[in-house]
Amino acid sequence: MQLTNKKILLAVTGGIAAYKAPAIVSLLRKQGAQVKVIMTQAAQEFVTPLTFQTISGNYVYQDLFDKKPASPLVEHIELAKWADVFVVAPATANTIAKFALGIADDLLTSVYLAHRSPLIIVPAMNTFMLNHPATQENIQTLRKRGHQVLDTQDDLLACQDKGAGKMLEPEDIVDAIDTCLRPKDLIGKRFTITAGPTQEAIDPVRYLSNYSSGKMGYALANQAKKRGAKVTLISGPSHLPRPKVDQFIEIKSTLDLFDAVEKNFDQSDCLIKAAAPADFRPAQIANQKIKKLSQGAGLNLELVKNPDVALHFGQLKQDQIIVGFAAESQNELENGRKKLESKNFDLIVINNIKRADAGFQTDNNAVTLLDQSQAAEELPLMSKEDLANIILDRVSDMFITKANTK
């Protein structure tokens, strides 16, 4: 996430979900954001202002005519000016209705009419209140104004009704804030990103595979989506949470991967090949589980070569940008250069798989970037999310260069 020094104005209204709001503030602070909190009178029935003051490190604003030390500033205007993003979590049906009608009878609703930053509304209420035609019309009114009204969760509610209306978790809300504040330099661009390992079946219970976790490809997909791209993620087997992309395609084998890329390649502006497909597969897949042989006897498997997905689409490339990865254990730069040229990549990401603190199944990576100019950029150890953004920065620059040379 990239929230360092971002100014977040969080409004908390009077619903039971207010108990989750301190966790939102805590997560934002851990990401380096500055947070100021507005509380309605009803919100203070659930959580105390002191809680938010302690976690945020800032005064908590409660009343349009506040009795805090005298200030010459018009508070609701200054708060509106201060914020990079204005978030209401939880947002009750009452607050949503006031926003829709333009009623300004307290500090929060007055800030709403004066606000000039993006607004994120996070509803939380009983299912029947949420589904009432009046609430639904008010939500649509706010969306038509360009405000972002997040969805709710389906679950057992505090009132013991079961259905929609539960507020999103603090992590999801902070993720929405991060997405809102990202520069949207990839709007209009279509990305196909591959991730994870492939599995080549031996029999109904065994397969050949590798140690890829999919973390790098998933990070690229998440960050590209945050920056406005339309993202198709083609993923081999992975235990990672499914990212919020436009299209998610699950595959198992390298042949599956080939077919999925083929179906999406022509419509893509950029193909990022972060998957680790198997180079070989068994020539025959046994229909039944292969039993152990006699004592001391081994098992011979005949392997055949899989199609070279990177080479194939590199040869088909027209106006697309292709980013490849090279997992090397020796002569990394030399082998990376050969792969860049032979497979017609625009950019290759080279990493040494022998490093214990980077690469497969870790949250970090240390790589060298190499482009068609043959200029190598060695990057230090960093999170895969940070690396994903550096790679996407390079791709964004390539899009600009291509546009300027047409």
Q: What are the tens digits of pLDDT across the range 320-350?
A: 999 999 988 788 888 999 999 999 999 999 9
What pLDDT score was predicted for residue 332? 84
Check residues 105 and 293 and name the one with the higher pLDDT.
105
Long-range contacts of 16-21 (CB under 8 A, 24+ apart): 16/46, 16/124, 16/158, 17/89, 17/90, 17/124, 17/166, 17/167, 18/43, 18/46, 18/47, 18/90, 19/46, 19/47, 20/89, 20/90, 20/167, 20/169, 20/170, 21/47, 21/52, 21/89, 21/90, 21/170
pLDDT at 296 over 70: no
Percentage above 70 pLDDT, the chain? 97
What pLDDT score was predicted for residue 361? 72
Check residues 74 and 17 and name the one with the higher pLDDT.
17
pLDDT at 87 over 90: yes
pLDDT at 70 over 70: no
What does the H/E/C string look like for 210-266?
Answer: CCCCCHHHHHHHHHHHHCCCEEEEEECCCCCCCCCCCEEEECCCHHHHHHHHHHHHC
Check residues 298 and 240 and name the one with the higher pLDDT.
240
Q: Is 151 annotated as a binding residue?
A: no
Q: Is 289 annotated as a binding residue?
A: yes
Q: Is 273 annotated as a binding residue?
A: no
What pLDDT score was predicted for residue 83? 97
The answer to whether 268 touches 283, Cβ cutoff 8 Å, is no
Check if 180 is active-site: no
What pLDDT score was predicted for residue 360? 73
Confidence band for 187, pLDDT divided at 50, 70 and 90: very high
pLDDT at 71 over 70: no
The segment(s) of the chain belonging to CATH 3.40.50.10300 are 190-286+301-405
Q: What are the tens digits of pLDDT across the range 233-292?
A: 999 999 999 999 999 999 999 999 999 999 999 999 999 999 999 999 999 999 999 887
Angle at 350 between CA 2 and CA 334, to 5 degrees: 150
Average pLDDT score over the chain:
93
What pLDDT score was predicted for residue 358? 64
| Stretch 147-171: mean pLDDT | 91
What pLDDT score was predicted for residue 363? 87
Percentage above 90 pLDDT, the chain? 81
The segment(s) of the chain belonging to CATH 3.40.50.1950 are 7-181
Crossing angle for the helix pair 93-101 and 133-144, to the nearest 10 degrees: 50
Q: What are the tens digits of pLDDT across the range 339-379?
A: 999 999 999 999 877 777 766 778 888 899 999 887 889 99
Confidence band for 403, pLDDT divided at 50, 70 and 90: confident
Q: What is the CATH number of domain 7-181?
A: 3.40.50.1950
What pLDDT score was predicted for residue 294? 64
Of residues 159, 187, 290, 400, which has the active-site annotation? Answer: 159
Hey, which CATH number is domain 190-286+301-405, 3.30.450.20, 1.10.260.40, 3.40.50.10300, 1.10.357.140?
A: 3.40.50.10300
